[in-house]
Amino acid sequence: MYEFEFSRPTGMQEALAAVAGGAQPLSGGMTLLPVLKQRLNMPDAVVSLTAIPEMKGVKAEGKLLTIGAATPHAVVAREAAAHYPALAKLAGGIGDPMVRNRGTIGGSIANNDPSACYPSAVLASGATIRTNKRSINADQFFEGLFTTALEEGEIITAVQFPIPLRAAYVKFDQPASRFALTGVFVAQYSTGVRVAVTGASDNGVFRWTEAETALSTRFTPEALGGVSLSPAGMMRDLHGTPDYRAHLAGVLCRRAVAAAI
Amino acid sequence: MPKDGIGAPTKRREDLRFLTGNGRYTDDINLKGQLYAHFIRSEVAHGQLNSVSTTAAEAMPGVVRIFTGEDFVTIGSIPCGWQVTDRFGAPMQEPRHPVLAHGKVRHVGDPIAVVVAESLAEARDAAEAVEIDITELPPVLDMKAALAPDAPKVHEELTSNLCYDWGFVEENKSAVDAAFASAAHVVSLELVNNRLIANPMEPRVAVGEYNAWDDQSTLYTTSQNPHVIRLLMGAFVLGIPEHKLRVVAPDVGGGFGTKIFHYAEEAFVTFASRQLKRPVKWTSTRMEAFVSDAHGRDHVTKIELALDAEHNFTALRTDTYANMGAYLSTFAPSVPTWLHGTLMAGNYKTPLIYVNVKAVFTNTVPVDAYRGAGRPEATFQLERLVDKAARELGVSPIELRRQNFIKPDQFPYQTPVAVVYDTGNYHATLDKLIEISDHAGFEARALESKARGKLRGFGIAHYIEACGIAPSHLVGQLGARAGLYESATVRVNATGSISVFTGSHSHGQGHETSFAQVVADMIGIPATQIDIVHGDTANTPMGMGTYGSRSLAVGGSAIVRATEKIVNKAKKIAAHLLEAAEADIELKDGKFSVAGTDKSVDWAGVTLAAYVPHNYPLESLEPGLEETAFYDPSNFTYPSGGYGCEVEVDPETGEVTILAFSAADDFGNIVNPLIVEGQVHGGIGQGIGQALLEHAVYDDQGQLLSGSLMDYAMPRALHVPFFRVDHSSCTPCTHNPLGVKGCGEAGAIGSPPAVVNAVIDALHRGGYTGIKHIDMPLSPARVWAAMQNS
């Protein structure tokens, strides 16, 4: 780690000023800290977003669940359980207790790791990402591998999830990191079913539209009978081939539907 | 008899300090004026090292000195402790192994330069200003390709990348080939024993200290064998005589073999502290450990079994390529040869065996002993092959084993691969395994799994290992450049308490508990009166350390011999005090008495007399009560056992879940059953790790893809079931005084083939009968791919 100036403001304006001045925003640090430790990044200043009250907490209002960007996974696992159990379960299955008590939802989706869990929930829920500047629909937010619609100096303040009728997330662990080797989030709304797949594609989280169409007609595992995902564009690494990941997406999607109904 | 003597399941006394955070590890040692070393390591697998420019870096804040390979040109090569002789009688090819690379870099992680600075941060800052010019060369990675005549050479001074071509028993080769030619059945299997990285919880650390006023060097290091390090580094690398070099290995957080070896970093901090006249400390990061700790396994093998018409094994033939990595680590040549070929008989009476091993240099991290060292490789190929034979012949794998086992009345048993098994009863351990694994209920459980859409399988493996390493004269003939005795000094204090100084190092084995139980039992005093001291060459007699499940069998036997001397002398003192003949003195429950009388003196009365010798036979007996013994075993010990694994395979994902694991071991006599059980648990855990999860993988450029815990999968609690462990099948070792055989490695040896056999069984039961073998680790992706291809 190189030397840098560190601040942990309690007010949003102070934090935004720091970011505007070039400071690197830090939330739970689950990705940024290892990168800094390995000296792969050299910010002059780092500003922590974790002491700003309005960026923290879980709040349910009607059919909308709002989660402050700096809310750790463990808090979501606990406090979202009554409102959006599938999301709470996803949060409770990320990493290990240390990760869940440090890592935050905002940090996870801003990083958009292609194997992270949260992007699948955000995309499958059609959530709205609120930033200091605007609101971004999930469909416009995730732009590819470690890439999002966030602009320079823009930080996520909260994520608003429309609460689905039924939903479930099923993840198949990469055995070392316990990120998703492949993970599928299925959410049923009155307007239709949304399916998001993480861990599989070379291009990060994506919506599986064929599965959505099939499940919007009939929300059962059997409805996926004729649906399969092409291995083209899927990831290849030590832990799985494109064929395997495409196959897993199908298996996990069926299991997610079974868990949801 | 003390209640905490031999056989008592005493809780480990050392756990009090470990579990309360009071262990004292090497990284806890910080010396006044200490400097910090940061190693700059090669980022390429193979390259010409053209220049290392340190000028700019030397001007950076806090930098004290930057060392490069030039500084070590006149310093000794890191030595190899074992010389293997090849099939043709020639010694192995043995390249120079410099402390820091010079002229070439030979693997990712090869150390090129070291910055020594006032702080670690300053050392790392300066390291970025060191300019290194390397011309990349094509890397040598695949072992068979490495032996092609036009392959690039890892070491220019050698004739090829072949370290040795070893045949064993060479004289049997034609008879073995003839037996195959006339066999009724031949079964063969090609397999890979996957490369592993030990990953002890505590990474390696070394602190060098030098006192100029008495020319005394001290090395604090994470080692399983401080005396071995003192000898190798002192005599062969740095030229420091033993009386001027002290090596301390304090609490060590797991070794698993990877902390046996003498490493460049140890020699570096010792050398640098002498040059700079200040202590120098190096602490490995976890990622540095991946590319600098010796790796394990990495064999590619073809094995063939010949059987007669009645399914008796008639001959066995193997052909193995063993990866040495870029340099010869301390005991690397012995692992695929004498620790592997000699075990190829397994538990079977196969009369003819021929083992060929080609050891190969590649541009990868050196490979050396890892828990089991050679014996897991032997057991895995043999037990996979026997299972495959049973499947091909349509017979029960249990019955095929039983039919070919050495029978209980055939011991001692001379195998065709040199070793003589002193005792064993393989039928008994197999029977016990079948009992504790509830094999009879398996079919019902398989049906229950099937109803849930899962494939259940049962696999067994039987193992033999050679432990208690080892008779010095024998290993000397086999190429060891060391003796393999063990030492002990038993120092009885005036009031009767005892300090035992042992050459066996403890880094998780619980010696401080079990060794005390041995002495307590022999004298008849509570174990709490006895402390075990180890890990410091300044206060323990020359000892060879801990590996090869040898500590109790060899180190414990040395303690027994020293304690016998103590008891003999104490009896002389007691005879004097009791005015009786020495022959009439009996020691029981810590009390000396005259046979047939009520005259007695207790232990403390005798020990006090030894140190306050007022009423004492000074004319015939020295005062004091302290004895040393060196014990050199007359044979290896041969623990054996039967392991059973029950798995469920998810046919949709290929995921393997271990539902039950049973181990029926014969470790000979047991000193502490609780510790033995724990050792078996840990060993099985590591074996399951090898079978299902762990794999060190290089890409075609020699970059380690599984270079961190994000990609190298270690077993977790969720991967292992509750174990059923039994060690009631006991055939005591005949040649050591405790009758013990050793238990440290068994779990890691016996479990991988049991797991793989169980998975293959499950797949066959599920109709995937085309699957003959899947190479470890049996990851979900690999199992699924095998199902798609079957």
Domain assignments of chain B as residue spans, ordered by start: 15-22+485-631, 31-137+204-283, 299-470+635-789
Examine the domain organization and report whether A105 and A9 are in the same domain. Answer: yes
The whole-number average pLDDT for the span A69-83 is: 98
Distance in Å, alpha carbon of B712 to nearest chain A alpha carbon: 6
For residue B670, what pLDDT is reported? 97
Distance in Å, alpha carbon of B102 to nearest chain A alpha carbon: 26
Examine the domain organization and report whether A99 and A227 are in the same domain. Answer: no
Examine the domain organization and report whether A70 and A102 are in the same domain. Answer: yes
Of the candidates B597, B595, B598, the residue with the CA atom closest to the CA atom of residue B582? B595
The beta-carbon neighbor of B712 closest among A176, A244, A247 is: A176
Note whether B652 contacts A176, CB cutoff 8 Å.
Answer: no
Pairing of β B35-41 and β B63-68 = unpaired
Q: Is the pLDDT of residue B506 over 80?
A: yes
Tally of domains within chain A: 2
C-alpha torsion B528→B534→B537→B543, nearest 10: 110
User: Which residues have CB under 8 Å from B596's CB, separation 6+?
Assistant: B584
Instruction: Report whether B697 contacts B769 (CB < 8 A).
Output: no
Note whether A238 contacts B693, CB cutoff 8 Å.
Answer: no
C-alpha torsion B136→B142→B148→B150, nearest 10: -10
Note whether A238 contacts B124, CB cutoff 8 Å.
Answer: no
Examine the domain organization and report whether A177 and A247 are in the same domain. Answer: yes
Note whether B780 contacts A172, CB cutoff 8 Å.
Answer: yes
Note whether A251 contacts B653, CB cutoff 8 Å.
Answer: yes
Average pLDDT over chain B reads 97
User: Which residues have CB under 8 Å from A54's CB, separation 6+?
Assistant: A12, A68, A157
Chain A residue numbers with beta carbons less than 8 Å from the beta carbon of B713 are 175-176
Tokens coding B256: 């698993």
Chain A residue numbers with beta carbons less than 8 Å from the beta carbon of B695 are 238
CA A196 to chain centre: 11
Shared fold status for B15-22+485-631 and B299-470+635-789: yes
Average pLDDT over chain A reads 96
Chain B contact residues (CB < 8 Å to A):
121, 124-125, 128, 287, 652-655, 693, 695, 697, 705-706, 709-714, 779-781, 784-785, 788
Note whether B784 contacts A247, CB cutoff 8 Å.
Answer: yes
Distance (Å, rounded) from C-alpha B575 to C-alpha B568? 11
Q: Where are the alpha helices (DSSP H) in B330-396?
A: 375-393
Examine the domain organization and report whether A58 and A117 are in the same domain. Answer: yes
Instruction: Report whether B366 contacts B161 (CB < 8 A).
Output: no
Chain B residue numbers with beta carbons less than 8 Å from the beta carbon of A172 are 653, 655, 780
* Radius of gyration of chain B, Cα coordinates, nearest whole angstrom: 27
Distance (Å, rounded) from C-alpha B81 to C-alpha B360? 17
Instruction: Report whether B405 contacts B347 (CB < 8 A).
Output: yes
Distance (Å, rounded) from C-alpha B720 to C-alpha B711? 20
CA B6 to chain centre: 25
For residue B188, what pLDDT is reported? 98
Tokens coding A90: 């996803």
The whole-number average pLDDT for the span B210-219 is: 97
Q: Is the pLDDT of residue B470 over 90?
A: no
- pLDDT-derived band at A81 (thresholds 50, 70, 90) equals very high
For residue B2, what pLDDT is reported? 76
For residue A212, what pLDDT is reported? 98
pLDDT in tens, B122-146: 999 999 999 999 999 999 999 999 9
CATH 3.30.365.10 is held by the domain B299-470+635-789: yes
Q: How many helices (H) and strands (E) does chain A have?
A: 10, 14
Examine the domain organization and report whether A120 and A174 are in the same domain. Answer: no
Half-sphere exposure of A153 (CA within 13 A, CB side): 9
Note whether B653 contacts A240, CB cutoff 8 Å.
Answer: no
**How many Cβ pairs within 8 Å bridge chains A and B?**
47
| Residue of B119, B652, B658, B788 to mutate when probing chain A, most A C-beta within 10 A | B652
Cis peptide before B412 (omega within 30 of 0): yes
Domain holding A224, by residue range, is 166-260
Chain B residue numbers with beta carbons less than 8 Å from the beta carbon of A247 are 784
- Of B37-46, B194-203, B469-478, the poorest mean pLDDT is in B469-478
- pLDDT-derived band at B1 (thresholds 50, 70, 90) equals low
Examine the domain organization and report whether A90 and A140 are in the same domain. Answer: yes
A51: domain CATH number is 3.30.465.10
Instruction: Report whether B74 contacts B158 (CB < 8 A).
Output: no
Percentage of residues in chain B having pLDDT higher than 70: 100
Distance (Å, rounded) from C-alpha B364 to C-alpha B349? 38
Pairing of β A147-148 and β A64-68 = unpaired
DSSP B370: -
For residue A261, what pLDDT is reported? 94
Examine the domain organization and report whether A17 and A116 are in the same domain. Answer: yes
Chain A residue numbers with beta carbons less than 8 Å from the beta carbon of B697 are 238
Chain A residue numbers with beta carbons less than 8 Å from the beta carbon of B714 are 176
Note whether B693 contacts A175, CB cutoff 8 Å.
Answer: yes
Note whether B781 contacts A239, CB cutoff 8 Å.
Answer: yes
State which CATH number among 3.40.50.150, 3.90.1170.50, 3.40.50.970, 1.10.286.10 fits the domain covering B31-137+204-283. 3.90.1170.50
Note whether B710 contacts A244, CB cutoff 8 Å.
Answer: no
User: Which of A122, A139, A162 marks a domain boundary?
Assistant: A162
For residue A260, what pLDDT is reported? 97
User: Which of A137, A162, A187 marks a domain boundary?
Assistant: A162
The beta-carbon neighbor of B705 closest among A2, A238, A247 is: A238
SS (H, E, C) B576-644: HHHCCCHHHEEEECCEEEECCCCCEEEHHHHHHHHHCCCCCCCCCCCCCCEEEEEECCCCCECCEEEEE
Distance in Å, alpha carbon of A240 to nearest chain B alpha carbon: 5
User: Which of A162, A183, A215 marks a domain boundary?
Assistant: A162
ipTM: 0.96
pLDDT in tens, B384-402: 999 999 999 999 999 999 9
Examine the domain organization and report whether A171 and A140 are in the same domain. Answer: no
- Tokens 């939903």 sit on residue: A167
Chain A contact residues (CB < 8 Å to B):
1-2, 38-39, 172, 175-177, 181, 237-241, 243-244, 247-248, 251
Instruction: Report whether B219 contacts B249 (CB < 8 A).
Output: no
Chain A residue numbers with beta carbons less than 8 Å from the beta carbon of B788 are 243
Distance (Å, rounded) from C-alpha A202 to C-alpha B785? 20
SS (H, E, C) B636-666: CECCEEEEEEEEEECCCCCCEEEEEEEEEEE
pLDDT in tens, B162-187: 999 999 999 999 999 999 999 999 99
The beta-carbon neighbor of B706 closest among A172, A238, A243 is: A238
The whole-number average pLDDT for the span B348-370 is: 98
* Radius of gyration of chain A, Cα coordinates, nearest whole angstrom: 18
Chain B residue numbers with beta carbons less than 8 Å from the beta carbon of A33 are none
Distance (Å, rounded) from C-alpha B470 to C-alpha B631? 10
- pLDDT-derived band at B754 (thresholds 50, 70, 90) equals very high
**Residue B133: how many CB atoms within 10 A of its CB?**
11
Instruction: Report whether A6 contacts A50 (CB < 8 A).
Output: no
The beta-carbon neighbor of B697 closest among A1, A238, A241 is: A238
| Residue of A248, A253, A254, A255 to mutate when probing chain B, most B C-beta within 10 A | A248
Specify the amino acid at residue A143.
E
Q: Which CATH class is domain B15-22+485-631?
A: alpha beta
The whole-number average pLDDT for the span A152-166 is: 96
Pairing of β B35-41 and β B280-283 = parallel
Distance (Å, rounded) from C-alpha B311 to C-alpha A213? 59
User: Which residue does chain A place closest to B784, by CA atoms?
Assistant: A244
| Residue of B699, B711, B788 to mutate when probing chain A, most A C-beta within 10 A | B711
- Tokens 């200490």 sit on residue: B34
Distance in Å, alpha carbon of B656 to nearest chain A alpha carbon: 12
Examine the domain organization and report whether A72 and A179 are in the same domain. Answer: no
The beta-carbon neighbor of B710 closest among A177, A247, A251 is: A177
Note whether A175 contacts B713, CB cutoff 8 Å.
Answer: yes
A181: domain CATH number is 3.30.390.50
Examine the domain organization and report whether A155 and A40 are in the same domain. Answer: yes
Composition of chain B by helix, strand, coil, percent to 5: 30, 25, 45
CA-to-CA dists, residue A60 to A68, A81, B190, B304, B340, angstroms = 12, 11, 60, 67, 64
For residue B317, what pLDDT is reported? 98
User: Which residue does chain A place closest to B287, by CA atoms?
Assistant: A38
Examine the domain organization and report whether A75 and A110 are in the same domain. Answer: yes
The beta-carbon neighbor of A176 closest among B654, B709, B785 is: B709
Chain B residue numbers with beta carbons less than 8 Å from the beta carbon of A175 are 693, 713, 779
pLDDT in tens, B549-571: 999 999 999 999 999 999 999 99
